[in-house]
A and B are shown apart, each in its own frame.
Chain A
């Protein structure tokens, strides 16, 4: 048997996991806000983690893991939104999701419905800014754009939301 002795990728899995674990809570929040389904959110983050591990070799030294991973999570959420199973069976699951139930008021429901009508990119921008409290600089790293562009996108998303729920945002 011709033997080649090499170190496997698994040598560095613990390192990767150690770096990833602190980011998981915010990643899970992002996925939950985007998908509004706790199971889908967990699956999205888990799949994103596997993709991140696959692509980890390309994360340059000194680059921040958090915005890089959040980009992957956001992309995974986009893909799941396109996935027929998600769109058919999961959107309506929102009221029965475990965890802290969203506010049940009519206004809040209007806001949730409006968010669902927004394009994914706009919804992502609002979630990053108002649900995860990211600064525009970090939003830019997640969205692969400048901080100025992130701010501009946020403004446009808010404008669109005002069209969807004008009374909500005028109060």
Chain B
């Protein structure tokens, strides 16, 4: 058998991939998830729906008004149901939640961001005009050929309760005690994403203003998280290629390669009846959202009308469901990021001007926000969690 004959037999044996709309799906997946209200602004039908929603929102405006708990929906028996929030006046924690408010518009895409705090008792947002990360290393975005305007200096991103100040990196890079953070530097000094050869992972201790190199790698370093086990990072060669996951031990500055990115990050165990996206199971997590040491996951899809579950797992297959419904249902729950505390989780929402509180004993509650910047017709607004909710001053 010559090479061509083998090639023919090889192809026949493997068959061909079916025609699919993969391109469209990937385009959709790569597009920033628009807030619902932006979609609703399109077209007369959508405008009608928007009016209906305005009426519905009027009913939601009362602070602390409760959303219909997802747990009232029929759940497969294998899923631990969220206790129903039957009571109408559940006392929610009153605290100051640090957030980054973002306004985006486009095309051409533009983004305005600013740090501030939300009083969870009143829903009032107050910008933090004194926020600054001057003098702190890290957090800057370095440009490249595809994004000529993408370079930007560091900005307040995470509020450390321990340090009582803003840091230029997000929650993933901050130590469990909130006193230090890790940041990446491209080398040689002065290089950018186009011409760097290697990277350094630095640890900066804010209280003592000391910076030291934790680890170096012949490629880029992206921090996945910093927890009690160490700093989990992903590396990519300078020219792109396979991601490798490492666990860096801060005290010893040693790194151990992990089995794979997926296994290192963990995941949610698939259960019968789970909604799939494109035939697959994994959808993603809710950034920064953890409760009782468990990462919060979303499975399903954000496409309108499609089923979706927000849940976490206490052991393989032992799931606690926070929300089970469909995108765009009456609950309107569409979490963007979150932060957990001893009693529950605060969720920000793609809808922008709402905050959610979930507690195991009371379910989901919706809080309307006020005091946020006005946004024009082509702008959307949303908040990102930026640290633990703080006691009121």
Interface residues in chain A, defined as those with a beta carbon under 8 Å from any beta carbon in chain B: 1-17, 20-21, 24, 28-29, 31-33, 36, 38-43, 45-47, 49-61, 63, 68, 71-72, 74-75, 78-79, 82-83, 85, 97-103, 107-109, 111-112, 115, 126-127, 130-131, 133, 144, 168-171
A74 to chain B, nearest CB (A): 8
Task: List chain B residues, Cβ under 8 A from A14.
Answer: 107
Q: B9 at interface (Cβ–Cβ under 8 A)?
A: yes
Q: Which of B59-67, B260-268, B345-353, B359-367 has 4 or more CB atoms under 8 Å from chain A? A: B260-268
A63 and B239 contact, Cβ closer than 8 Å, known pairs A11-B108, A111-B13: yes
Q: Which of B109, B152, B220 has the most CB atoms of chain A within a 10 A radius of its CB?
A: B109
**CA separation between A38 and B14, bound complex, in Å?**
12
Indicate if the CB atoms of B280 and A33 lie closer than 8 Å: no
Residues 3-42 of B, flagged 1 when their CB comes within 8 A of A and 0 if not, give 0001101111111111110110111011110000000000
A79 CB contact (under 8 Å) in B23, B27, B110, B261: B261
Interface band, chain B: 35 or more
CB contacts (< 8 Å) of A52 on chain B: these are 240
- Within B306-356, the residues touching A (CB, 8 Å) are none
Which residue of chain B has its CB nearest to the CB of A2? B114
Q: Which residue from A56, A79, A82 sits with its C-beta under 8 Å from B146?
A: A56
Contact A9 B150 (CB under 8 A): yes
| Given known A57-B193, A71-B241, A72-B242, contact A42–B20 (CB-CB < 8 A) | yes
Q: B114 and A72: CB pair below 8 A?
A: no
Closest to B22 in A: A42
Q: Which residues of A contact B236 (CB under 8 A)?
A: 55, 58
Name the residue among A16, A79, A133 with the largest chain B CB count within 10 angstroms: A79
Query: In the complex the two chains form, is B278's CB within 8 Å of A43's CB?
Result: yes
Contact in complex: A6, B13 (CB < 8 Å): no
CA distance A85 to B267 in the complex (A): 12
- Collect the chain B residues with CB atoms within 8 Å of residue A6's CB: 110-111, 113, 141, 149-150, 152
A7: contacting residue among B9, B17, B147, B195, CB under 8 A: B147
For residue B241, which residue of chain A has the nearest CB?
Answer: A71
Is A57 a contact of B18 with CB atoms below 8 Å?
no
In the complex, what distance in Å separates the CA atom of A8 from the CA atom of B112? 9
Complex contacts, A56 vs chain B, CB 8 Å:
146, 240
Are A102 and B13 in contact, with the CB atoms below 8 A? yes
B213 within 8 Å of A by Cβ?
A: no
B249 to chain A, nearest CB (A): 24
Whole-angstrom distance from the CB of A36 to the nearest CB of chain B? 7
User: How far is it, in angstroms, between the C-alpha of A57 and the C-alpha of B220 when the chains are bound?
Assistant: 10
Contacts of B10 in A (CB 8 A): 111, 126, 130-131
B16 touches A8 (CB 8 A): no
Partner of B242, one of A24, A75, A111, A130: A75
List A contacts of B104 (CB < 8 A). Answer: 8, 10
Report the Cα distance A50→B23, complex, angstroms. 13
Q: Is B238 in contact with chain A by the CB < 8 A criterion?
A: yes
Known: A38-B20, A50-B30. A2 touches B25 (CB 8 A): no
Decide if B239 touches A58 in the complex (CB within 8 Å).
yes
Q: Would you call A4 and B113 a contact (CB within 8 A)? A: yes
- Say yes or no: B113 contacts A13, CB within 8 Å: no
The answer to whether B106 has its CB under 8 Å from any CB of chain A is: yes
Instruction: State whether the Cβ of B144 lies closer than 8 Å to any Cβ in chain A.
Output: yes
- Please measure, in the bound complex, the distance between the C-alpha atom of A82 and the C-alpha atom of B22, giving whole angstroms: 23
* Pair A11/B127 contact, Cβ less than 8 Å: no
User: Which residue, of A17, A51, A53, A57, has the highest number of chain B Cβ atoms within 10 A?
Assistant: A57
Whole-angstrom distance between the alpha carbons of A100 and B26 in the complex? 23
Q: Give the distance to chain A from B152, nearest Cβ to Cβ, in Å.
A: 4
The answer to whether A71 touches B146 (Cβ under 8 A) is no
Which residues does chain A contribute within 8 Å of B29, judged by CB atoms? 46, 49-50
Nearest 7 Cβ contacts at the A-B interface: A99-B18, A39-B279, A102-B15, A43-B280, A32-B17, A1-B127, A1-B114
User: Bound complex: CA of A169 vs CA of B10, how far in Å?
Assistant: 10
Residue B145 interfacial (CB < 8 Å): yes
Q: How far is the CA of A46 from the CA of B277 in the complex (A)?
A: 11
Q: B7, B20, B194: which has the most chain A beta carbons within 10 Å?
A: B20
**Pairwise interchain contact B150-A168, C-beta atoms closer than 8 A:** no
User: What's the minimum C-beta distance from B173 to chain A, rounded to whole angstroms?
Assistant: 16
B155 at the interface (CB under 8 A from A): yes
Q: How far is the CB of B183 from chain A (nearest CB, A)?
A: 16
Q: Is the CB of A99 within 8 A of B16?
A: yes
Contact A20–B18 (Cβ < 8 Å): no
CB <8 Å contact, A82 and B109 = no
The smallest C-beta distance from B94 to any residue of chain A, in angstroms, reads 23
Q: With an 8 A cutoff between CB atoms, is B116 at the interface?
A: yes
Cα(A107)–Cα(B9), bound, Å: 9
Contact indicator B152/A72 (Cβ below 8 Å): no
CB distance from A153 to the nearest CB of B (A): 16
Contacts of B207 in A (CB 8 A): none
B254 at the interface (CB under 8 A from A): no
B209 within 8 A of A: no
Give the residue of B9, B27, B282 whose beta carbon is less than 8 angstroms from that of A111.
B9
